[in-house]
Structure 1
Amino acid sequence: MNLLGITVVLVLLAGVWAQVSVLRPQCDSPEAEEAALVAQDYLNGQHVHGYKYALNRIEDIKIITKPDGDNTYILEVDLLETNCHVLDPTPVANCTVRPKILTAVEGDCDVVLKKVGGALTVTAFKCKTEESTEDLCLGCPTLLPLNDTSALDFVHASLATFNNMTVDVTYTLLEVGRMSSQIVSGGPIYVAEYVVVEANCTDDVCVPLNDAMAVRGICSASGLNARHSVDCKMFSTLVKYSAAPALPPLVNVHTGSLSPKHGLRHHKLTTIHDPELSGLLSAESAESAEVVPVAPAVVDAAAAAAPTADPAAPVADPSLKFCPIHLCVQGGSTFQI
C-alpha cells in the first residue's frame, strides 16, 4: 500500500475513533445512580428464590457513547440482601437490609445496559453472591444448610403451631429462605425464615394452591421444636416483574429439588450473562459456567431513579456499617403467636 493509501486509512480510522468516546462519570453522579437502580430492579426481577437485594454502592461505571445515541453503560455494583422475599410486593426502597452480624449476604454484579431514546435496557450481567464474614462473633447465630434435617423439623413444627392458630385457612411450606442455629446451654436454638402458601388439605396431606391469588407469606420462627415463637407476614398478591421469568413450580424442600448444591446456606442471585457481550464484563463475577440469553427489559429511567418509598417508614438502624442508597423498615400486618 502506498503512502497515500495508508494516510487515507488512518484518517478514516481517526474519524471513527473521534465519534466513539468513553466517559467516566463519578459513581455518585445522577446518571450513575439512575443506571444502577435500573440494574437493581432488573436483577431482582431475574431472582426467583430467596430475598430481594438493595443497591449498596456503585463500584465503577463507564459509558461508551456513539453519535447515534446508542450509548452503552458498563457498571460494577455491590448489592446487599434484604429481609423482603422476592414474592413480597414491598418495594425494595422499603425493605430492611440484613445486618452483617446476622450473616449478611452480598452480591457483586457486572451489568451492561443500553440507553436509547432516554430508556435504559439491561442487555447482559453476571453476579457473584457470597456471605459477609465481617462482624461475626463467638456464640452468634450461624447459617445452616437449607437442607439441614434438624432445622427443617423445626420449620415444620413452627408451621404446625401457626396453622393451629389460623381459622379456615391452612398453609404449607413453599420455600425455606434461611435457617440458623445458636448454641446455648441445653443445646441449639433455631432461627428460621420460610415462605408459606395456602393449601388444600385432606387428612394429613396438603397440596399448595397453584393460584396467583393464593395467600402467601413469610414466617420467622425461633426456639426449639417443643417451645418456639412464630410470626408470619402475609401478602395476598404476588410481586410482578416485567422482565422476570415465570415463577418456579411449587416445591417442598424435603425433595431436595430446591437446592441442588448440597450444603448451600443461602439463595444466590442468578448468575447469567449474554455471551455476545461477555467481553465487556469483568472476571470478578465469573461464578459459574452457566450461559443463558437475557431477554432485554426496557425500564423507565425516571421511575427507576426515584422509587416510591413510604414516608412513614421508621428510620433504619444507625448502627449498620453500610450505607445503601435506600434503606428503611418494611411494614405489614403480622400474626403473632
Structure 2
Amino acid sequence: MGYMEKPKATLLAEAVDCSPPLVARIWNGPQYQKKEIKETRLLTPSQEEALLAKVLHIIDTTGFITAIEIRADASRIAGKNVGHSWHIGFLDRNDEAIGTIETDKREEARMKVSEEDVLYYESILEDETKNTPAELFVNADEVGYQQFADTRRRSIIVRKKDINKPLHNPVDRSETRVSIMQGAALSSDSLIPFVIVKKPLRIQEHLIAGTRDGIDAILVESEGTTMTGSLFCDWLHSDCVPFIDKQREKLGLDIRTPAVLQIDNCRSHLTADALQICALNNIKMITLPPNSTQFLQPLDLGIFGSFKQHLQTLRRHNTHDTTEKVINIAVS
C-alpha cells in the first residue's frame, strides 16, 4: 500500500482559499526548536564570585553595604552600566550569603509651626522684599558634614544571618567633622562655601588636597565646628557682603538698593555686631519662624536637600580620610 504524498502548500491553500504561508506553517509543523534562554548576567561566574567576596568583606568591615555600591562595583567590572535593578538578581543568586533589611529611623521630636507664625512671616516678607532683585535676595544656611545617621529609612545589605536584627543607620563618632555655611541668591548665583575647621588649619595641606582658600572655599579655624557669633560676622565680612557688592555692581546699582538675607533664627546670627554689619551694608536680615526652615526657606527646600544628598553619596567610602580630603570632597 502506498502513502499519499503531501500536496504543496500553495495547492492546498488554493483549495481552501487561505493564505499559503499559514497553510504551510500548519501543514509542515514547527520548523524550529525553542532556544535556550539567553544569559542575561553581565558578569562571568568568576567575576561575580569575586564581587561577592568583596561585598562580604565590606559588610564584615563596616557592617553593611548599599545597593548603589554593589552596582557601581559591578559596572566597573563589566565595563559598562549594569542598570538600576541589577543588584536584585545578584541578591537572588546569592541569597544564602546576603540579604536586605530596612534600617530604623532615629527617634526625633518634630515641632509644628503655627499657622499664625507662617502668615505673619509671609506678610513681613512681602513688605520687606518688595521690588528686591532676585540677584540681591540671598538665602543662607549651615550644614554639618559628617556621616551621622539621618532620619530616613533606607535599605542596606547585610549577611544573611543578620537580616532579622534591628539595625540603625551606622554612626561613627570619631569621624572628622566640618561645618559649611553656604548661600545662594534667588537668581541661582552662589556664594563661596564658608568652611569651619577645628584647629589647626593647615592651608598648605588643603591646597595639596585640591582646595584653594578664597577660591574654592573660605577656610576658617575654630575651637569647634559650630557656627558662633564671631564666625558668623566673619562670614558676613568675607563672603556675604563682598558677594552682594558684586551683585549690585553687576546690576549697575549701589548701596542705596537694599539686599535681603533670609536665614534661620539661630542666636549666633542675631548678635549686635552681625546686625550692625548688615545695617551698614543696607542688608535686611529676615529670620524664619522657629523650626520652619525645612518648610519656608527655598535654599533648604531645594539646594540644600540636593547638597546634603551629594555629601552622603560622596562620604560613604571616605569616613576616615584626613580633614583636608574631607573638605575637598564636600565642596567639590
TM bin (shorter chain) = under 0.3
Q: If each structure's helix is expressed as a fraction of its own residues, which one has the higher value?
A: 2
Normalising by structure 1, we get a TM-score of: 0.23
Normalising by structure 2, we get a TM-score of: 0.23
